[in-house]
Amino acid sequence: MVKNFTLTFLLALILHFSGSSQEKFAVAARESSAVRLVKFYPNPATTNITFELPKGSSYTLQIFNFMGKKVYEIKNTSTTNLVNLNDFNRGVYIFQLRDAGGRIVESGKFQVSK
């Protein structure tokens, strides 16, 4: 009985990671090892959150609430950007880092807990 279960489990794993599932797994592995431009802390945040960006580049940092409404924007960011969260409600927020052409370079999410 244990042999049959082990064999079935191994077969299920092989089938799961074959074909398109294997491609999805490879894409997820590449994305998790990708170099991140934005470093932000603390997460979750209560009063302020700091975004650290690469030197020498001009970016726009936009923050959206979970409903998709833009609630904050910094144009021509510096290397260290402190965002005051006094006017933010408790919840999850999405940030987007955009280059000078308006293309999204990086995005992520953070949580505000008050």
Grouping H, G, I as helix, E, B as strand and the rest as coil, residue 37 is: coil
31 membership: H or E segment, kind and range: helix 20-32
- Given this model, what pLDDT does residue 13 score? 45
How much of the chain exceeds pLDDT 70, in percent? 70
> Tell me, what amino acid is at 90?
R
> pLDDT tens digits, residue range 49-91?
999 998 877 899 999 999 999 999 999 999 999 999 999 999 9
Residue 41 pLDDT class (50, 70, 90 cuts): very high
Per residue in 22-34, pLDDT (tens digit) is: 444 444 444 455 7
Contacts of 106 (CB under 8 A, 6+ apart): 36, 37, 38, 96, 97
- Report the topology of domain 39-112: Immunoglobulin-like (2.60.40)
Kind plus residue range of the DSSP H or E element containing 63? strand 60-65
Question: Is the pLDDT score of 43 beyond 50?
Answer: yes
pTM above 0.85, yes or no: no
The domain locations on the chain are 2-32, 39-112
